[in-house]
Amino acid sequence: MGLHIALEGVGTPLTDACRHVLGMPHLCPSGLSENWLWKELGHRHWGLIAKAFGRAEAGFGPAGEPPVYAAFRSISLQGGDLGGVRENDALDVRSKVTYLSETRVVSQHAAACRGRLVADVEMTSVFVRRQAEGVNRSIARVRIEGRGHAMPAFGGMPLQPSGTEHVFSGAGAAPDERELGTLVVEPCPYLDFNGAGLLYFSSFVAAVDRAEWHFLGKRSGLVTTRERRALFHANIELGDRLTVRMLALGDDARCCHRALLSTEDGKLLAELATRRTMAQKRC
């Protein structure tokens, strides 16, 4: 029996809520730290999966076999008003699972401050595990059955794909895009990789922000995120470097751009599309 079928009769909704009083760990010069927000919501996404299975271990699967992890396939942020918060504000976050199957989980998160929406987020993860111990490039999808047992996942993504996947055109530049440049980023294991030894999904976003600041930010100042969409394809090993190729989506590259993240040998790792607005001076 698949997990999606097994959970149809569950009486308790898969939801969660919390409040954060914002301080230095949560903030950046332009308002709420987007990177902190992704890490917090990623943790909440995992917590909802653990709640669904009635367990809190870091991975699934029988003892003696490689653990199974929930790896993000796509994320999206809309309605961003990250610049509308300040120190000591209370940020309320409400989370829920909107789709849960034996191969995929979709969650939604609404972050609000003083009754105003700060970020509307959707996150999609798939179940994966390494086929070779310690080798991140051997990551492959698996299927989780009702009791947490992992099986190989056949075929592609299940039905009801996230709309995030339809905004990307792949590794090539679209006719209306122009090149901004390519930056090589060297991830640090102490900062950019998670406890499973994988480059954390928020580190892909951070790499794009570094490239954006390098090519655009020093000239035009601080911005905040209105929309962010990311599609993830693969992971890297410790010691690998990333190339971040920046493409402008319109006349104002600072406010609308796309980034392609690849290994140095050209394997596409992730695609990110970003829409920004100039940061307002906070009181």
Enter the DSSP assignment of 196: T
- The residue type at 186: E
Sequence-distant (6+) residues with CB within 8 A of 60 are 53, 67, 68, 127, 144, 148, 150
- At 101 the pLDDT is 87
pLDDT along the chain (283 residues), means of 10: 39 83 96 97 93 66 76 96 96 95 93 96 96 93 67 40 52 76 97 96 98 86 93 97 92 85 97 87 46
Dihedral over alpha carbons 72, 66, 7, 44 (to 10 degrees): -40
Query: How far is residue 19 from each of residues 3, 22, 220, 244, measured CA to CA in Å?
Result: 30, 9, 34, 35
Whether 236 and 265 have beta carbons less than 8 Å apart is answered as no
Instruction: State how far the Cα of 55 lies from the Cα of 49, in Å rounded to an integer.
Output: 9
| CATH top-level class of 3-278 | alpha beta
pLDDT digits (tens, 9 = 90+) for 142-173: 988 754 444 454 333 333 444 445 456 565 66
Please list the residues that pair with 174 across neighbouring strands: none
Q: What are the DSSP E strand ranges found in the chain? A: 15-21, 27-28, 31-32, 69-78, 90-100, 104-113, 116-130, 139-144, 150-152, 178-185, 223-232, 242-248, 256-263, 268-278
Whether 140 and 150 have beta carbons less than 8 Å apart is answered as no
- Domain residue spans of the chain: 3-278
